[in-house]
Each structure stands twice: as structure tokens, then as C-alpha cells.
Structure 1
Amino acid sequence: MAKAIMLQGTGSDVGKSVLVAGLCRLARNRGMNVRPFKPQNMSNNAAVAAIPGEAGAGEIGRAQWLQALACGVEPTVHMNPVLLKPQSDTGSQIIVQGKVFGTARAADYQVLKPKLMDAVMDSWGRLKAEADLVVVEGAGSPAEINLRPRDIANMGFATKVDVPVVLVGDIHRGGVIASIAGTHLILPEEDRRMICGYIINKFRGDVSLFSDGIAAIQRFTGWQSFGVLPWLSAASRLPAEDSVAIERMKGMGTGKLIVAVPILGRISNFDDLDPLSAEDDVEVVFVPPGERLPEAARLVILPGSKSTIADLAAFRANGWNADLLAHRARGGAIIGICGGYQMLGRRVFDPQGIEGNVREAEGLGLLDVETVMEPEKTVRDVAAHSSVFDVPLRGYEIHLGRTTGPDTARPALTINGAPDGAVSTDGMVFGCYLHGLFEAAEFRRKYLGTMGIDAGKADHRAVVEAALDDIATEMERHLDCDALLATAR
């Protein structure tokens, strides 16, 4: 049975996901057979993963997919047995071991959580049986003691399986001494004893200037410091876990080619845009609610959405529908991916109320198609082919709904040999269900070439692999990794 170690954070977005990925790659580089594990995740950035023993596939958080890549293994649903996909401010779809379990409001989910621990423990046992080391990622913070009685993601899990915890603090946001010392102060003794030390993350400047900070944390907590990590620039080349990161990615709108992406309320799988962002002459500008789509943009991309009808309403409320029509009138290009594709059509129907109480909505009318939401979810990795540029593509599908209409007679591509998507009569608007559309270098080269951009030189997967190696190298350089790994049990 594998040893294990768990990284928990003093708060959300302190860098846990990246550090787990880096530790997984580091352990793999040391010759260990390692697996990632996150008992419970909340994110609309999902990935396709195998369901061991079954022919189909399921969903896990995109971060666990990345961590599996860092381990050099295929992702499975047991790496993230409980995934919550927010559909509204108070409710989420619940994915258990890759499959839709149901939906629940936040208050109801708190009651449901203990029942999901059986699935968590089943997946935990499966992973431990096949690895030397399991690196576990917490969710949010163990300092959320109001959630502790029913917790399955942080100390509730750590104490149940007796896995040692390393606390991660983010010095960039300020107050890191208080956040670590405060966590020590408010945790009950049963939880406090699980913490074997801490890591300071995202430090800029001369680390020697923080020596008094390390001494202060030692006085307050008695916990061991495993080291101080500098700001990891390579992390920007990795897919972000959730939409919290979008605020840091908005851009200034000064690139040679500006690509505008409206930030939908339930935006999903926006790492589809990462390969574009990595191109030197392309600037992806994420546009927050309340701001106009930039007139300088030559391409607007509507990304995936967990709640297409709700996001359509919000799109109009922001006035983006008028901006998009003006962009179209100027001859601008438009792409819709998954939920964004559905939004570009004439109407969206939800006869069974899968997304909510609204059963029908008017689309943006830029493609002559209609979508009907259906209960059966498509979840699969796929081989695809661009019909326009005659190049192979690879990616995945995660969606509800069936889209039909006259414009589908001009499919954007084929998926597993079947036509998918739709293209407008002039070719300037297209939509499809393929996530990962821009990952293929040759497709990027040919598509961006139509806009005069010399692109597609780098293989995006190779860029991600190199970033994982760089992060592992920085962790080896700045942390006491021998001591860190020795705490695993």
C-alpha cells in the first residue's frame, strides 16, 4: 500500500493544485509510482477520465487531469471521486466517481456529504493499491471550521485515513504569518496534530528577508518549514483550475491579434484558450461583466458554459449581444465552443428543466441551428478532423444537448468520423462541441494564418510538460524535498 501526503491551503487559490502537480512530477522524476487524489473538487473546468473496469468515461476536475499528466499516468475517475459543478449561486451538479449523481443546493449538499464518503474511501483504496505514493490535495481551507462536522475534503478526510498534512500559505496576497498562525489557533487538537509543516508559496524578492517571518511562525505554531517557493512563472503555462484565475488573465488589448472572451457566469473549460494565449502575437482578453467587448478584437470566442440558458440571459443583460452583432457587422470572426456553440444558435430548449426552471430561450441567432437539452451526457475523448483546414485534431466532449439545423450541413469538423458543429454561409462564424480545438499546432497555424498571424510553432502539450518539469525543478531547489517526502506515511 502506498504512502501518502496531503497539501491543504490557508485559503483558496494559494497554489495547492500547482504544487501537487509539481510534487507529483518531482516524485515521478525520483522514480516513484505516484498518483494524485482530491476527495472533493468544485470546478466547472472538467476533464475526461477512464472508469476502470468500464467501457465508458467519466468526469474529474481539470486539475486532477493535469496532475495525472505530471505523474505520467492516464487519469481515472478515482483521482477525484466527488466533483461539484456549480450551476447557480446556490446549487451544483454532483459527479460521483465520474458519473452524474444528481443536483443539490449548497445547504442540502452539506447533509449529503457524509454519504459520499463511501465513494471517496473506495476510490482512495483503489489508488493506494496501485502506487508508491499518493499526493492528496485539499479543497479551500481547513480553517473553515464551520464546515468541519461533515467535511470530506480536508481534515475530515485526513483524520479518517491518517494522512499527514502540509499547509500551503500564499505570501503574495499578504498576511501569510497571520493565516498560518490563525489556522493553528482555531483548529481543534485532533486536526492540528495532522499538520507536519508548511510551505510559503509565491514569494517575490530576497527570501532571506523572510527569515524573521519563519521564526515568528515557529514561535506561534511549532510547525516545521519545508521552505519558501518563489513566484513560479512556469505556472502560467499550465491550465488554471477554476475561474478565480480569470481575473489575472484579462489582458490589456494591445496585441497584434486580439481575441475577446466574455466571462460567462458559469464559464467552463476556458483552458481551451491556453494555446492561443501562448502564441506571441495573440492576446486573449477575458472580458468581465460590465465591460464592453473590445472593438479592436478580430475574433470573439464564446467558451463553454455549465448553464447555457442562464448565461444567455446574462450575456444580454451585459449588452454583449449588441457588441457581438456589431463585431459581426465589422467582419469579425466568431467561434462558439460547446455551450458557446449552443448560444450562437436561434433557440435553446430545455423541456425537462435540466438546467433550471426556464424551458426555452432565444439564442444569439448567428448560426441557423437549435439545441435541445437531453438528460444523457456525452463524456468522451475523441479523434477529430477539421473540415475547413483538413488537419487532424484531438480533444474531448463533455456536454448535454443535441444541436440540429440548416447550418449543420456545413459541419465545422468531424468527431470520430461523424459531422459536428456548424459554419455560417460566409465561414466567419462556426461552433462545435470539441474541447481542445486549438491544441493542435497545425490547426492554429492555418486558422490564425487567415488573420495574418504566424503561429502554431509550438506543440502545446510539450509546453505543458516542460512547465511541469520546471516547477518540479524549482521545488527541488527551494524546498527540503527529502524531508517533505519523508513525512509521507
Structure 2
Amino acid sequence: MPTKTPAKTLMIQGTTSDAGKSTLVAGLCRVWSQMGYRVAPFKPQNMALNSAVTEDGGEIGRAQAVQAKAARVPAEVDFNPILLKPSSDTGAQVIVHGKALTGGNGAMEAGQYHNYKKVAMNAVLESHQRLSERFELICVEGAGSPAEINLRAGDIANMGFAEEVNCPVVIIADIDKGGVFAHLVGTLALLSQSEQDRVVGFVINRFRGDIALLQSGLDWLEQKTAKPVLGVLPYLHQLEIAQEDAIATEQDNSQAKVRIAVLVTPRMSNHTDFDCLRLHPEIDCQFVYGQPNQESQIPPVDLIMLAGSKNVRDDLTFLKEQGWHRQIARHLRYGGKVFGICGGYQMLGQTIADPHGVEGQPGQSEGLAYLPITTTLAEQKTLKNVSGWLNLSGQQAQFNGYEIHAGISIVEPSVVESKAAVSECFEPIVAIGQHQAGLLSQDNQIAGCYVHGLFDHIDTVSLLVNWLGSEINQKFDFDAHQEHAIERVADACREHLALDKIEHLLTAWYKNNYADADRSS
């Protein structure tokens, strides 16, 4: 039993992935922050390829960075102590307290990680304890479903964590998927008795229609489970918030002036780099997916973008298997343009070497050979927030972004000499203080750099569109858009959740479970 009452912790678990856990946590963080509470988001273990860099140079899941924004606190590594970044179907890089484990860049196979979970749980509990000492409320997001029988042993992401810290749980389900009552009742039935006892209620998400027609089902659910329904959240159309890995594709491109294709590879990372472009009303930004055992066609566009990757050599192989390298060459012959970010920037170079097996088997791959750089993957990852200037075609725009990469890219003198002086053939496109990074080809068609979040800004988007030979009239503010999305979720929580009842259940839980601690403190 703890010696003092901790910060109140409420955990949101889901019946499935994409049930709405991330969104609900963000909404509650904003509501409680507006009520004057010191609230922190928390996700014990996150598996995602979308990540962000904290102020102190650590790496956490992108959703937790958005939830920190909702809570109006700076993002920190304790909000997401364990981050798993898949590099293959069976392996992932393990990041603990913002840093990859040493040795092989922290890569572990699934069986190895299962044996590592006890150590991981200690890291999770350390983070939770530190947050408990500084915040009044901690809103926790689970992962996937707590009813995955094969993952129950050593669980740190759902009920294993809730049992360890002795916190109450709310289970959320997505009614838009269908079978919501089966999801909720079935999930509860697969939990142990002690786990069922800590479930204090349900939330139903993404409801459309007349709530009166759902009432009989809600009454049945409460009678069947003896658990209250704490709210029914509506379907919020065109909501863009806290994406983990699912790539959102919804957009209105009826006013589009330029067309952009983003190539989707199996280990594509930080696809949030393209959110601002996709959401802009005057830009048609579409994701192009590969097809197994056949060449996939890239539609006619002004710009092809190559994204970041958690396994850049394998994704480069996939790109070539799709025949995209030939289509990129044809696109350039007809005057099109190409921009690579992070792993995509590396692919545009001459070679990518992985001597230590950082992302897979050691070896070297031939790049697309459009930029005069060679890249070597190092065991120590670069993690930093950056700000500077983007330069394209003699124009500049200021940005704030971040870097997350194992690769070290250098200009290869032999390549430059075979074409001409670097100042004549290639010019830096990113200025970060006195440091010049990224390259633009002399023919003004090919560019790349390491900066994520480069196009989250009005001015850099305008500059990119100008580079493509057009001009946008509408100024789309991505930060304001994200803030508006958070407020929409918070408004929905205030209107459709029984917030007083949730607060009462939370208070009662801690009063009943920590009464002895109160008397001894």
C-alpha cells in the first residue's frame, strides 16, 4: 500500500484498436486543464511509427505530444515511457524514456521483448511515479484491447498496468464499426474478476443518429454488466487529431491548384508530415499504395514525395519492386518534381549503408542516385527540435520542426566532381543557425532534407506551392486547425459525457482504495 495518496489516475482502454482512446484522452486532458487541474497524459507502452521529439531531446509517440498540447503542458518522455517502432513484422526498436536501447539501435524480436517486459514495467512505473508527484490527474491511454488473451502475460499496456498502480478503468468502444454491445460485453467477460471490478463504466464513441433509438441498448448494457454508460460521443466529421499510425485520407480537393503524391511504403514513418498539405483546400495530396506482385501506378502529379521510414533499405527495395523508380524517372523527364524527407531524402542519394544492422540485416543498398549524398546508419540516433529557414528557388520561409534519424548523410565528393562543383549543381535548402542541410538540384526538380514537420507552417507550404509553379490564396494554419480539433473533442466531452459522474467515480475509487494511506500520511 502506498504511503501517501497518489495523483488520481484514470485509464481509458478500448475494445479494439482505433476505438477512440487517443481522442478521448486528449479531450479529457483539455477539459480538466480548463477546470484548473494539473493534468498529464500517459501511455505506458505505445507501438507507433509516428513520433515526436520532446524539449529535452527524447522521443515519444505523436499522440502523446498532441495530448500534452491538449493538457497545455510541454511534452516530456514520462508521458510515453515505452515506445516500440516496428522495423519488421516480428521486430521493433525499443525506446525507453525517450532513448533507444543500446546495441543494434535497440532492436528486439517479439520473443526477446516479451522477456524484457519486467524491465519495461519498471520504467513505466518510474515514469508514473514521477508524474504522480507533480500532477493532480493522470489520464492514461491503453493500447489495442485488454482482452488479447495471448498478450496477457506480463502485460504493461492495459490491465497489467492498471492492476499495478491500482487505478480505475473506463472502456470505450466504436459503435461505427458495428457490434458495439458484443465488443463491450465480450471484452468485460474476458477479463479476470479483479480486472472487471476496476472497470467503472463504458463510453460509446462515434454515434450517428437519434440517441433515443439507442437507449434500450444502453439500458440493457447497464443491466447486463452492472456498469454505467458514462456517455455516448457523437461522430465528429473531418476530425484530425492524434493519429498513431492510421493514415487519414479524407480531403476536399475540389479547389486544388497543385497535385502531390506521397508514396506509402511498408515501414513509412511520420506520415503526419503531410497532414497540413493534405488538409489544405487548394492542394490535392494523395497517398499512393503499392500492390503485391504488380507494378503500382503513380497518378499524374506535380510533386512526388518520399516519406520517412523505420527500415529505409527495405522500403527502398519495396519502392523499386513497385516500379516506382522508373515512374519517378519518367516524372522528372516530363518536368515533375520530387521531395524526400528523412528516409526519403536518404533514398534520393547514392547509397545507404547499414554496417551494424541497425534496421535489419547489415549491408548496403543502391539509392536512386539523384542527390550526391551517401548515408550510413549509426547506432546512436539523432533526436532534436530544430528551427530555421527553408530555401527554394531563391525564396525563404521560416519553420520549426524536429529530426529523428539514425542516418548520417554526407556529400560525396566523387559524385559532385563527376557532375560539377557542388555550388553549381546542388545548393543547401535548409538553414539551421549556421548549419546548412538538405539539397536542391540545379535543375530545380529534386530536393530533400531531414526535417520532420517542415510543412506544418503556412509560409513553408506557400513556398512549396510556389516551387511547383503555382500560388495559393488561402492561408491554412495547421496549429490553429489542430487546436480547433482539440476544442471540438473537449466540447463533445462536456456535452455528451457524464463528467460529474466520472469525477465522482474517480474520487470514490481513491477514497475507498487509499483510505489507509490517507490516515498514515
Q: TM-score, normalised by structure 1?
A: 0.95
Structure 2 match to 1:54: none
Aligned partner of 1:39 in structure 2 is 44
Contact kept? 1:449, 1:455, Cα under 8 Å = no
Give how far 1:460 is off.
1.4
Q: What SS is found at the alignment partner of 2:19?
A: coil
Map of 2:84 onto structure 1 = 84
What is the SS of the residue equivalent to 2:299? Answer: coil
Report the counterpart of residue 132 of structure 2 in structure 1: 128
SS, match of residue 233 in structure 1:
coil
How far residue 157 of structure 1 moved from its aligned partner, in angstroms, is 0.4
Name which of structure 1's ranges 422-431 and 401-410 shifts more when overlaid on structure 2. 401-410
Larger Rg: 2
Alignment counterpart, residue 411 of structure 1, candidates 428, 433, 437: 428
Contact in 2 for aligned 1:338/1:434 (Cα 8 Å): yes
Q: State the match for 1:422 in structure 2.
A: 439
Q: 1:21-79: CA deviations, max 9, x gaps? A: 1110111111111100000000111110144xxxxx11000000000011111111000
The answer to whether structure 1 residue 302 and structure 2 residue 306 are counterparts is yes
Assess if the C-alpha contact under 8 Å between 1:354 and 1:374 holds in 2.
yes
User: Aligned to 2:366, which of 354, 362, 366?
Assistant: 362
Residue 439 of structure 2 aligns with an amino acid whose one-letter code is A
Gaps of 5+ in 2: 1-5, 417-421, 511-521
Partner-residue secondary structure (3-state), 1:356 = coil
SS of the residue corresponding to residue 47 of structure 1 reads strand
Question: For 1:346-387, what per-residue CA distance to the aligned partner results, in whole angstroms no more than 9, with x for missing partners?
Answer: 211112221111410011122222111112211011112113
Alpha-carbon deviation of 1:465?
1.1
1:26 paired residue among 16, 22, 31: 31
- CA drift at 1:138: 0.3
In structure 1, the partner of 2:419 is: none
Instruction: Give distance in 2, aligned partners of 1:239 and 1:181.
Output: 27
- 1:473 maps to a residue whose letter is D
TM superposition shift of 1:447: 2.1
Confirm or deny: 8 A CA contact 1:371 1:401 kept in the other structure.
yes
Corresponding residue number in structure 2 for 1:485: 503
Once residues 290 and 252 of structure 2 are traced to their aligned partners in structure 1, the CA distance between those partners, rounded to angstroms, is 16
Question: 2:138 aligns to what SS in structure 1?
Answer: strand
Report the alpha carbon displacement of residue 258 of structure 1 after superposing the two structures with TM. 2.0
| Cα distance change on mapping 1:344 and 1:404 into 2, 3 Å | same
- Give the superposition deviation at 1:300: 1.0
Find the aligned partners of 2:440 and 2:473 in 1 and give their Cα distance.
23
SS at match of 1:13: coil
Distance 2:484 2:251 in 1: 24
Letter in 2 for 1:8: Q
CA distance in 1, matches of 2:126, 2:474: 43
TM-superposed CA distance for 1:279, in Å, is 0.9
Question: Taking every aligned residue pair, what percent have the same amino acid on both sides?
Answer: 41
Question: Which residue in the other structure is 2:319 paired with?
Answer: 315
CA distance in 1, matches of 2:163, 2:307: 39
What is the 5 A alignment of 1:270-309? Answer: 270-290=271-291, 292-309=296-313
Find the counterpart in structure 1 of residue 186 from structure 2: 182
Alignment check: 8 A CA contact 1:253 1:285 kept: no
Equivalent-residue separation in structure 1 for 2:276 and 2:251 (angstroms): 15
Q: 2:307·2:344 contact (CA, 8 Å) conserved in 1?
A: yes
Change (3 A) 1:85 1:317: same
- Would you say the 8 A contact 2:298–2:324 is kept in 1? no
Once residues 54 and 464 of structure 2 are traced to their aligned partners in structure 1, the CA distance between those partners, rounded to angstroms, is 29
Deviation at 1:485, TM superposition (A): 2.8
1:252: how far off?
9.2
1:63-102 matches, cutoff 5 A: 63-101=63-101, 102=106
CA contact (8 A) 1:86 1:93 kept: yes
> In structure 2, what is the Cα distance between the partners aligned to 1:411 and 1:471?
41
Structure 1 CA distance, aligned partners of 2:299 and 2:55?
43
Once the two structures are overlaid, the 10-residue window that deviates more, 440-449 or 118-127, is 440-449
- Provide closer, same or farther for how the CA distance between residues 324 and 118 of structure 1 changes in structure 2, counting only shifts above 3 A: same
Residue 137 (structure 1) aligned with residue 141 (structure 2): yes
SS across alignment from 1:301: strand
Is 477-486 or 153-162 further displaced after alignment?
477-486
In the alignment, the residues of structure 2 paired with residue 199 and residue 376 of structure 1 have an alpha-carbon distance, to the nearest angstrom, of 42
Distance 1:416 1:483 in 2: 52
Matched, 1:108 2:112: yes
CA contact (8 A) 2:257 2:472 kept: no
Q: Tell me what 1:431 maps to.
A: 448
Aligned position for 1:454: 472
Match of 2:493 among 459, 465, 475: 475
* 1:274/1:327 CA distance change after superposition, 3 Å: same
Q: Is the 8 A contact 2:264 2:289 kept in 1?
A: yes
Counterpart residue identity of residue 477, structure 1: E
Identify the residue that residue 463 of structure 1 maps to in structure 2: 481
CA distance in 1, matches of 2:359, 2:73: 34
Q: How many residues align?
A: 480
Q: Which amino acid aligns with 1:141?
A: S
SS at match of 2:455: helix
Does 2:271 match 1:267? no
Could you tell me how far apart the structure 2 residues matched to 1:136 and 1:370 are? Answer: 42
Deviations 1:399-425 (A, max 9, x none): 011112246951111124301111111
Structure 2 distance, partners of 1:340, 1:62, is: 20
Moved more, 82-91 or 207-216: 207-216
> For residue 41 of structure 2, what is the amino acid of its counterpart?
P
Alpha-carbon distance between aligned partners in 1 of 2:351 and 2:442, rounded to the nearest angstrom? 19
Residue aligning to 2:518 = none
- 1:12 to 2:17 alignment: yes
CA distance in 2, matches of 1:148, 1:107: 14
Distance 2:206 2:285 in 1: 24
Q: Deviations over 1:191-219 (max 9, x none)?
A: 11110001000111222211122122223
Aligned residue in 2 for 1:199: 203
Query: Which residue number corresponds to residue 3 of structure 2?
Result: none
Check 1:149–1:160 CA distance in 2 against 1; reply closer, same or farther (3 A cut): same
- Letter paired with 1:394: N
Aligned 8 A contact 2:389 2:431 in 1: yes
- Higher mean Cα deviation, 193-202 or 251-260? 251-260
Q: Deviations over 1:397-453 (max 9, x none)?
A: 000111122469511111243011111111111000001111121121122134324
Does 1:212 find its partner at 2:216? yes
Displacement of 1:19:
1.0
Identify the match of residue 398 of structure 2 among 382, 389, 392. Answer: 392
Q: Which amino acid aligns with 2:194?
A: E
Give 2:356's aligned residue: 352
Alpha-carbon contact 2:402-2:452 (below 8 Å) kept = yes
